[in-house]
Amino acid sequence: MSQEDRVPPHTPATGTTAVLAVCGWSGSGKTTLLEAVIPPLVADGLAVALVKHCGHGADLDRAGKDSDRLFRAGANVTIETPSESTHRAHQAADWDLRAVVARLARDHDVVLVEGHKATPLPKVWVVHRDEPDIPADVTGVELTIPWVGREPQSLLTLIRRRVSECWARRPVRGGVLIGGRSTRMRRTKSLLLHEGVTFVEHVHGALQTAASGVLLLGAGRRPRALTRVQRLPDVPGVRGPLAGIVAALRWSPHCAWIIAACDLPRLNAVAVEWLFAQRAPGRWVILPRVSEERVEPLLAIYEPQAAALVEDLVTLGGDSPRRLAGRPHVYTPTVSAELAAAWTNVNTPGDLADLDRTPAR
């Protein structure tokens, strides 16, 4: 592996996920406000997490129940039902709210915290009728909601704005998969030429029109023109194109990734622009639908929250990212007939001959 291939991993960041604490004295109406704003956020297609501070302790299970007995015996207990699950864990001595928020940010679009007024988070202060002033030691208050006329719209507007701002400043990277064996082609597909340009150079250039940096994913051969482009090795033990996708999401987990196979010689800037136009908060994976039966995961977008879905797929032994279709927060927009050729793979010598006979549009 060359020097430029030894790329250090990036560290996770929560700056691209909206986080907001709703604070106030007991009885000020924090829970009532949150109860009002969460349903419209969910209706927006967002995954919402809530961390609730209970200074007096939480009553999650009835004493004497099997699950409570097992928890008190020392186990962390997850209770599964057909419609929900509850995880009850023993808290470590060095428990830190920031670590909890960072963990929730991995697979949620917005993390709301009820309470924790002393924690350095952006805050909304809900005024209590008997305590109208914000305590001097409470910092980071972005909105004050008065006791009289407490209505959720101002809080909802703030949360939506923060979600949009955090999503908009999310970095976007590109990744070109070059780890395939090219068994059917019997030649290295990344180095195939079309109109004087190698496949991988063409795809790399097309992704550069929208991504802030484009990496090569996998150990396949690359042309001399791309020898200085950063490359990530496939994740060991992961099969198929997922090995490269997982490598990208692990290396830079706070970025959105546009992932493309190297064998897309019809890829163009118009198709990339259309794909990016499908992005929106709450859409973690965008798998374009090129026919009624098939979605295409190898010219697709994977947001940071996609990592949780992809890692679950790997754990279950999957090797095809197409299996993400149908999962929550996976969007499958239909590609128009005019753009569909951009998603056409060249897999066999016959495909290559057809490509050479058919001029590009």
Please tell me the distance from the alpha carbon of residue 139 to that of residue 284, in angstroms, as a whole number. 32
Show the tokens assigned to 284. Answer: 């973690």
Q: Who contacts 208 (Cβ-Cβ below 8 Å, separation ≥6)? A: 174, 214
Signed CA dihedral, 191, 197, 202, 205: sign only:
positive
Q: Which two tokens stand for residue 209?
A: 């029109």
pLDDT value of position 2: 43
CA distances in angstroms from 142 to 69, 125, 145, listed in the order given: 43, 8, 10
Answer for the pair 222, 231: CB distance below 8 angstroms, yes or no: yes
Nearest to 20 by CA among 133, 166, 151, 131: 166
From residue 217, alpha-carbon distances to 192, 193, 306 in Å are 17, 20, 17
Q: Look at residue 71 in the predicted model and tell me its pLDDT.
A: 79
What tokens does 293 get?
A: 């039966």
Alpha helices in 106-260 (DSSP H): 153-168, 199-207, 242-251
CATH of domain 171-357: 3.90.550.10
The span from the CA of 351 to the CA of 332, in Å, is 26
In the chain, CATH 3.90.550.10 sits at 171-357
pLDDT digits (tens, 9 = 90+) for 303-330: 999 999 999 999 988 778 999 999 999 9
In the chain, at which residue ranges do the beta strands (DSSP E only) sit? 18-23, 48-52, 77-80, 85-88, 110-114, 123-126, 141-145, 172-177, 193-194, 197-198, 214-217, 231-232, 256-261, 285-286, 299-302, 330-331
What pLDDT does 9 receive?
41
138 contacts 28 by C-beta, under 8 angstroms: no
For residue 238, the 8-state DSSP code is -
Per-residue pLDDT tens digits of the chain, which is 361 residues long: 443 444 444 333 456 789 999 988 888 888 888 999 999 999 999 999 998 876 545 555 566 677 777 777 767 777 777 777 777 777 776 667 888 888 888 999 999 998 888 888 899 998 888 887 888 888 888 888 887 666 789 999 999 999 999 999 999 999 999 977 666 767 788 888 888 899 999 999 999 999 999 999 998 899 999 999 999 999 999 989 999 999 999 999 999 999 999 999 999 999 999 999 999 999 999 999 998 889 999 999 999 999 999 999 999 887 789 999 999 999 999 999 999 999 988 877 787 878 767 655 4
The CATH number for 18-58+90-168, chosen from 3.20.20.140, 3.40.50.1370, 3.40.50.300, 2.60.110.10, is 3.40.50.300
CA–chain centroid gap for 41, Å, is 17
Helix (H, G, I), strand (E, B) or coil at 193: strand
Cβ neighbours around 185 below 10 Å, total: 18
pLDDT at 4: 40
CA distance 28 to 34: 12
CA-nearest of 34, 55, 35, 22 to 141 is 22
Give kind and range of the element (H or E) at residue 39: helix 30-43
Locate 122 and state its tokens: 């952006």
Whole-number Å distance between alpha carbons of 104 and 308: 11
Q: Give the chain's largest Cα–Cα span.
A: 80
Please report the pLDDT score of residue 3 as a whole number.
Answer: 37
**What's the pLDDT score for residue 86?**
78
| Torsion angle, alpha carbons of 209, 214, 217, 222, to 10 | 90
Cβ atoms < 10 Å from Cβ of 262: 32
Distances (CA, A) of 343 to 125, 211, 215, 263, 276: 50, 18, 19, 9, 15
Range(s) of the chain covered by CATH 3.40.50.300 = 18-58+90-168
Which ranges of 107-215 would DSSP assign to H, the alpha helix?
Answer: 153-168, 199-207
Q: Structure tokens of 99? A: 């670590």
